[in-house]
Amino acid sequence: MDRQLAQKALVRYLIGLGIVMLAVFLPAGTLLYRGGWRLILNLFLPMLLIGWLLLRRDPSLLQKRLESKEKQSVQQVVVVLSAAMFLVGFLVAGLDFRFGWFQLPRFISRIAAVIFLLGYLMYGEVLRENSFLSRSVRVQKGQKVIDTGLYRFMRHPMYTATILMFTMMPLMLGSLIALPVFLIYPALIVRRISNEEHVLTEELPGYSEYKKKVKYKLFPRIW
């Protein structure tokens, strides 16, 4: 086991956990926020499991997932806007809980958690299929087109999975008024895909042919 990589991943994990907990519970004004704990557990427990599996079975992919620096200016803007969206969304959800503006019934939060976990399973399957899945938009040495598994039906199944996950976050938190904030995410992904496909078409051999073979980007029969 690569101890240095494990330490790096653990530090990133703990920092992420701390930031999300502050962003959720601080505006809520209490730790007695059931929706907040539902989000934390459903987000970070599977993340810990996936990180451990990658460390054991595909450490090079884990290393790529930890490298988040974007070279494309378009992608840099998308990353900044995504971070701002999460912070604002968590702030709104926490304030909604504190002041009781528009709290959703508990069963909706539970359904959202199930959909979130299904998205997480899809995310894990994409990681299993594609060992070139870097967080930044770039073509790696030796990279090839992946056209198996979920990639037979859509060109960007990882983004499909994250859309399912992230749009469920405000519902898990029990906040309807935070939902419009998180609905910004699909629009950001559409912009990211536009730039990413340009890069892949220009630099990855066989991607033009793959686009002709698999017509849908995110959702089969839709787009």
pLDDT digits (tens, 9 = 90+) for 33-54: 999 999 999 999 999 999 898 8
CA distance 101 to 71: 41
Identify the residue whose tokens are 């702030």: 91
Domain residues of the chain, as ranges? Answer: 3-213
Look at residues 148, 110, 115 and name the one whose alpha carbon lies nearest to residue 132.
Answer: 148
Q: Contact 169/116 with Cβ under 8 angstroms? A: yes
Nearest CA to 174 out of 47, 28, 29, 30 is that of 28
**Contacts (Cβ under 8 Å, ≥6 apart) of 10:** none
| pLDDT, averaged across the chain | 89
Residue 113's pLDDT band, with cuts at 50, 70 and 90, is very high
Q: Which residues of 76-114 are buried (b: 16+ CB within 10 A; e: fewer)?
A: eebbeebeebbeebbbbbbbbbeeeeebbeeeebeebbe
Could you tell me the pTM of the whole model?
Answer: 0.88
Q: 3-213 in CATH: which number? A: 1.20.120.1630
Integer angstrom CA distances of residue 4 from 14, 16, 105: 15, 18, 44
Q: State pLDDT tens for residues 122-174.
A: 999 998 888 877 766 677 777 888 888 899 999 999 999 999 999 999 999 99
Q: How confident is the model at residue 97 (pLDDT cuts 50, 70, 90)?
A: very high
Among 116, 201, 121, 124, smallest CA distance to 155 is for: 201
d(CA 177, CA 187): 18
